[in-house]
Amino acid sequence: MTWGKHGRTKVTGAGGRLMTATDDATETASLPDRRSGADQSVEETHKPVILAIDDDPQVLRAVRRDLRSAYGSRYRVLGASSVADAYKILDALDERGHDPALFLVDQRMPDTTGIEFLLDAVSRFPDARRVLLTAYAETDAAITAINQVRLDYYLMKPWDPPQERLFPILDDLLSDWLANYRPPYNGIVVVGHLVAPGTHAVRDFFTRNGQPFKFLNVERDQEAQPILADHPGAPLPLVQFPGGTVLTAPTDAELAQQLGLTTTASRPHYECVIVGAGPAGLAAGVYAASEGLSTLILDSRAPGGQAGASSLIENYLGFPSGLSGGDLTRRATIQASRFGAEILHPIGVVSLTRADPAKVLTLTDGTEISAETVLLATGVSYNRLEAPGAERFEGAGLYYGAAITESSACIAQHVFIIGGANSAGQAAVHFAKYAAQVTILVRAKSLSASMSQYLINEIDNTPNIEVRVRTTVRELRGGDHLEHIVLHDADTGEDTEVPCRFMFTFIGARPHTDWLDGIVERDEHGFVLTGSDLVANGGELPEEWSLERAPYPLETSVPGVFAAGDVRAHSIKRVASGVGEGAMAISLIHRYRSMG
């Protein structure tokens, strides 16, 4: 059975009731055991916990007062005036299966520092958000905390008024925590083999769409047997929804329908249609909708693109502790929807035709949508591995991209990562938290040619990650799933067969542009040409260009059709640049609409 947490240290502790310091007296905090069947209300039993720790009674009193005023209806707010009391609370939380949502910890305390406490606390509750309280700007302590315990934020005391200096910060952190929180489960259940293409596809679909689910392994989990018995001989995976509906080996479209995802546009014509909901497409959607354009965003699978599957983006401006691709996608999707953009998925586009001045897009369901302007932001996919057995084991041990869905399956395994750019480095650091060993296979002589230095440093400092340079994969072997790979050492010329159940590749990229053939100019690799690239090397404008002016930057060979992000020729393959191009494209679309 797979849940959202892995590797939590079990620490048994205090008995049924414990004392936490508050105000001038001591409050008794009762922590109900949700496994005991005790007579507690469901709401109270399942409330996640916010724990505040400060040795100054006056500060602790103020902290708890503010926290209760804003969060008391949704969270149990507990306080401790010493680290010893805090450890008793942690023991009781762990013993009773409770989930702390947030630690708010003073840095300077008599018996230890806040950082030292958090080091232990996050080893037991790794998903809890972490905030450090300081009496003044202790920048060195904050940086140390970011590096050692992945500190989410540090606050200086006092924080008055809390409505401006405390609550907005905690709102954001708790929102992120809730997005990944898995309370006692009564939701979607996926039953299948741990390593199988169909199971991977379903789990990946739910993960990319931010849909919680519980996975039952047919070889191991007894809970799967009653569901299998009710559907003898049905193809796997089985997906059971609340209410009893069961789908067998479902397609993305069937899952989307069952989830109630919107796949039908509300109008026949839009001022701006954005094809692709990665960082560039979502950024464009936010700006287009916020500036009053009727906006439709389409994605053939789920919002986020490649970035959406990234475990941690650490060099994105404004997030010193980093943020996951899932968090970035969720925030951007909510933001675009809030401004009025329609987001349809999973629904792809199969063709684009000109009906000047409009453009007509034909969708995978056969319907047509017309648009005044179109933005192509379809991104890229990783190149397929050119080795015998690669196609056979795709989804059954070989995965393209991070495939965060498979993290729990990789516990105690040896994971291989192919690639030397940032995506490969981020994946290696992520899987190192679960796997016994992670090996990065790089064709080049080192990582420095294509990977950011901060990731190289992190890899060097992670003991269970090794890097094998000048190494390629010759062959993949196994039965129903991947079992061995043959590695070739370019320096020695030797081939070596090694055991392998999980391999993730991040090599090269190919754009999603075949559907534009004959309509929009592309380079020899399929990337969309825009702006000055259309007349590079002193050439002339394409024959289909119908205007006297030259194409705007990011504008394709079809007036009013723009491209942004990884799909565009010569673009910078970074999340921040994709977001920037998406925003820039809307400014150019306004210029096109006003001037032609």
For residue 520, what is the DSSP state? S
| Residue 568 near residue 554 (C-beta atoms within 8 A) | yes
Q: In this structure, which CATH number among 3.40.50.300, 3.40.30.10, 3.40.50.2300, 3.30.70.590 belongs to the domain 189-250?
A: 3.40.30.10
Q: What is the pLDDT at residue 139?
A: 66
Q: How many alpha carbons fall within 13 Å on the CB side of residue 170?
A: 26
Q: Give the phi and the psi of residue 423 in degrees, each rounded to 5.
A: -60, -40
At 285, give phi and psi (nearest 5°): -60, -40
Q: What pLDDT, on the 0 to 100 scale, is given for residue 407?
A: 84
Question: pTM here?
Answer: 0.73
End-to-end CA gap in the chain: 58
Report the alpha-carbon distance of residue 120 to residue 131 in Å, rounded: 14
* DSSP tag of 570: T
State the DSSP code for 322. Answer: -
- Are 24 and 143 in contact by the 8 Å Cβ rule? The answer is no
Under a CB-based contact definition with an 8 Å cutoff, are residues 500 and 436 in contact? no
Residue with tokens 């008599």: 110
Contacts for 201-207: CB closer than 8 Å, 24+ residues apart? 201/252, 201/395, 202/237, 202/239, 202/250, 202/255, 203/405, 204/403, 204/405, 205/252, 205/255, 205/301, 205/302, 205/346, 206/255, 207/326, 207/404, 207/405
Domain limits, CATH 3.40.30.10, in the chain = 189-250
DSSP 8-state assignment for residue 535: G
Phi, psi of 565 (to 5 degrees): 85, -160
Q: Where in the chain is the domain with CATH 3.50.50.60?
A: 269-381+510-595, 398-505
- Fold of the CATH domain 17-180: Rossmann fold (3.40.50)
Two structure tokens written together for 86: 């805090």
Query: What is the dotted CATH code of the domain comprising 398-505?
Result: 3.50.50.60
For residue 145, how many C-alpha atoms fall within 13 Å in the half-sphere facing its CB?
27
Report whether 418 contacts 425 (CB < 8 A): no
Q: How far is CA 160 from the centre of its chain?
A: 34
* Distance (Å) of CA 552 to CA 291, 545, 558: 20, 12, 11
Under 8 Å between Cβ of 14 and 94:
no
Query: Rounded to an integer, what distance in angstroms lies between the CA atom of residue 199 and that of residue 185?
Result: 20
Report the C-alpha gap between 37 and 535 in whole angstroms: 73
Residue 478 near residue 502 (C-beta atoms within 8 A)? no
DSSP string, 112-143: -BHHHHHHHHHHH-TTSEEEEEESS--HHHHH
DSSP 8-state code for residue 533 = G
Among 303, 347, 343, smallest CA distance to 211 is for 303
**Start and end residues for every CATH 3.40.50.2300 domain found in the chain:** 17-180
User: CATH classification of 269-381+510-595 is 2.60.40.10, yes or no?
Assistant: no
Burial of 184 (0-12, 13-18, 19+ CB in 10 A): exposed
Residues in the chain: 596
Q: Regarding beta strands 189-192 and 238-240, do their DSSP bridges make them parallel or antiparallel, or are they unpaired?
A: antiparallel
Tell me how far apart the alpha carbons of residues 86 and 18 are, in angstroms, rounded to a whole number: 10
- What tokens appear for 319 in the block? 């997030």
Averaged pLDDT in 10-residue chunks for the chain of 596 residues: 32 29 35 39 64 91 92 92 90 82 89 84 86 75 71 82 89 88 79 92 89 90 92 94 92 92 94 97 98 97 85 86 88 96 95 94 96 96 92 93 80 94 91 94 92 94 95 95 96 95 91 93 94 78 84 95 96 92 98 90
DSSP state of 566: G
Residue 97 to residue 31: CA distance in whole angstroms: 10
Nearest Cα residue to 307 out of 333, 327, 289:
327
Compute the distance between CA of residue 423 and CA of residue 313 in angstroms, rounded to an integer: 9
- Which of 98, 83, 87 shows the shortest CA–CA distance to 53? 83
Residues facing residue 414 across a β-bridge: 437
Residue 149: Cβ-neighbour burial (10 angstroms; 0-12, 13-18, 19+):
buried
